[in-house]
Amino acid sequence: MPRACTTRRRFLGALTAGASAALVRGGCARPAAETAAPLAPGARRPNVLLIFVDDLGYGELGCQGNPQIPTPHIDALAERGIRLTSGYVSAPYCSPSRAGLLTGRYQTRFGHERNFIGRQNLDPAIGLPTSERTLGDALRDAGYATGLVGKWHLGGAPKYHPQARGFDEFFGFLHEGHFYVPPPYEGVVSHLREKEPPYDANNPVLRGHKEVRETEYLTDALTREALAFIDRHRDEPFFLYLSYNAIHSPMQARREDVKRFSHIKDPHRHVFAGMLASLDDGVGRVMDRLRTLGLERDTLVFFISDNGGPTAELTSSNAPLRGGKGQLWEGGIRIPFIIHWPGHLPEGVTDDRPVIALDVYPTALAAAGVAPERDRTIDGVNLLPYLAGDHDGLPHETLFWRYRDRVALRRGNWKLIRQDRPFRLFDLSRDIGESEDLIDKRPDVAAELRRALEAINGQMVRPRWR
């Protein structure tokens, strides 16, 4: 998928000059820039809205090629923004992906490598290490109002609570999943597994630290709370991390949403469609509120999924990619990735340069005129000069992944991967589906990538838990 050219090049000036973060080059990271250029006198600092959705497959949005389930509101973000078709997350599972997103660092640098579920959420030794600073910390310290609405999954003990990790306000839940309505599950169509995990055990919906009984369909409730946060902070710069748990299991959709898809005969897929439609409606309501308040041009919006879709569980499609959630095949780590900032970035552009969710951290800080920390390696890159057309090169020469005994590295269009057997090599420019292993035909490339992978892996630490 070639990168589309745009006839409009917007130079962001003070927002991008001097605010780039670390680039990974040949396995070594450059220190982050020490200063950020000031905003122009009288300029409003932009709001940051990070919409992070759960288990959405690469091929499930209309703008990603799915004609079966309309997603007009998310598609509109792409139509007025930039769709990054080689956008990645740093892990194929929920919790480590979120750890990388919020710190701008490979989570394997600080041992947050493994996912955790169930009782592990209550273990005080398991969670985002308190030595790490989040995007919430950085923007709150810069004077932003900060809020998290939705799923946390970075530790359930008090020291990991969102309000201890940079967020002034929190409405949501702490563990890996949640039922969409409380028992007896009225008003929804469910397609539950025979042994559905007890998502709600010791995992209440919270407002701050206080348990609340939420009766509205959870996707709608999270949208409601996001709108309220925007309304409260409309007159000051804010950072809202809107972390929908949709379309993560359990599969429960409102009856009225399911009825919209009578043409889908598979009952499992039928429920999935209703869940995705509700998510899309929520995104539409949030964007409508920004427009109504005159804040759309003042708000930098990211829309990203936390990992690839689990096809067998949800019917989710990662087409045309191979594999899905939990794997380092493209289908597990390449995800829908959209950036939207009308009036500041080009609109209606498709960009195929490799980027990663780690880039959200330095990009948001650069937009806010905030310098990243000097005391740690930031693996993400400020994307603003690349997206604006000021830099024509690649934001990343090399991207790296490690999960358990699986590793992968992308350099240019070459990808080296060890997923379930010895290393394999693919040319993604010709084989996005990773079907033709070239390791025997190009041993020179494989050897070069293997050395780069080992150099980067040598900077990482052991997992903090299993």
Domain at 346, CATH number: 3.40.720.10
- Would you say residue 8 lies in a domain? no
Residue in the structure block whose two tokens are 């539409």: 284
Give yes or no: residues 418 and 379 share one domain: no
Q: Tokens in use for 46? A: 């932009």
Give the SS3 label for residue 252: strand
Q: Tokens in use for 8? A: 């409009």
- Would you say residue 33 lies in a domain? no
Alpha-carbon distance of 230 to 252, in angstroms, equals 27
CA 117 vs. chain centroid, Å, equals 19
Give yes or no: residues 294 and 339 share one domain: yes
Give how many domains the chain has, as a whole number: 2
Which of 378, 394, 410 terminates a domain? The answer is 394
Give yes or no: residues 386 and 296 share one domain: yes
- Domain with 77, as residue range(s), is 13-18+43-394
Give yes or no: residues 415 and 286 share one domain: no
Q: Tokens in use for 280? A: 């899309």
Burial classification of residue 125, based on how many CB atoms lie within 10 Å of its CB (0-12 exposed, 13-18 middle, 19 or more buried): exposed
DSSP label at 334?
A: B
- pLDDT number for residue 29: 43
Q: Cβ(448)–Cβ(425) under 8 Å? A: no
Give yes or no: residues 376 and 299 share one domain: yes
Give yes or no: residues 154 and 48 share one domain: yes
CA 337 vs. chain centroid, Å, equals 8
Which of 394, 414, 432 terminates a domain? The answer is 394
- Would you say residue 312 lies in a domain? yes
Residue closest to 148 by CA, chosen among 135, 138, 128, 162: 162
- pLDDT number for residue 212: 97
- Would you say residue 162 lies in a domain? yes
- Would you say residue 291 lies in a domain? yes
Give yes or no: residues 390 and 404 share one domain: no
Which of 368, 394, 420 terminates a domain? The answer is 394
Q: Cβ(86)–Cβ(394) under 8 Å? A: no
- pLDDT number for residue 192: 85
- Would you say residue 29 lies in a domain? no
Q: Cβ(178)–Cβ(205) under 8 Å? A: yes
The order of strands in the sheet holding 406-411 is 398-403, 406-411, 414-418, 424-427
CATH code at 452?
3.30.1120.10
Number of Cβ within 10 Å of residue 116's Cβ equals 23
List beta partners, residue 303: 51, 338
Residue closest to 381 by CA, chosen among 369, 368, 364: 364
Burial classification of residue 169, based on how many CB atoms lie within 10 Å of its CB (0-12 exposed, 13-18 middle, 19 or more buried): buried
Alpha-carbon distance of 285 to 273, in angstroms, equals 18
Q: Which of 42-52 are b and which e, b meaning 16 or more Cβ less than 10 Å from the residue's Cβ? A: eeebbbbbbbb
Residue 210 CB contacts under 8 Å (≥ 6 apart), including other chains = none
Q: Residues, the chain, total?
A: 466
Give yes or no: residues 321 and 440 share one domain: no
Q: Cβ(155)–Cβ(64) under 8 Å? A: no
* Long-range contacts of the stretch 291-298 (C-beta < 8 A, 24+): 293/230, 293/231, 293/234, 295/47, 295/230, 295/234, 296/342, 297/341, 297/342, 297/343, 297/344, 298/44, 298/46, 298/47
Give yes or no: residues 309 and 365 share one domain: yes
- Would you say residue 431 lies in a domain? yes
Give yes or no: residues 349 and 424 share one domain: no
Instruction: Give the pLDDT of the chain (466 residues) as one tens digit per residue.
Output: 333 333 333 334 434 433 333 323 333 343 333 345 556 666 789 999 999 999 999 999 999 999 999 999 999 999 999 999 999 999 999 999 999 999 999 999 999 999 999 999 999 999 999 999 999 999 999 999 999 999 999 999 999 999 999 999 999 999 999 999 988 889 999 988 878 888 888 999 999 999 999 999 999 999 999 999 999 999 999 999 999 999 999 999 999 999 999 999 999 999 999 999 999 999 999 999 999 999 999 999 999 999 999 999 999 999 999 999 999 999 999 999 999 999 999 999 999 999 999 999 999 999 999 998 889 999 999 999 999 999 999 999 999 999 999 999 999 999 999 999 899 999 999 999 999 999 999 999 999 999 999 999 999 999 999 8
Fill in the amino acid letter for 429. Answer: S
Give yes or no: residues 206 and 116 share one domain: yes
Give yes or no: residues 71 and 154 share one domain: yes
Verdict on whether the full-model pTM lies above 0.85? yes
Catalytic residues: 94, 153
Alpha-carbon distance of 347 to 458, in angstroms, equals 40
- Would you say residue 4 lies in a domain? no
The angle, 0 to 180 degrees and rounded to 10, between the axes of the packed helices 267-292 and 218-232 is 10
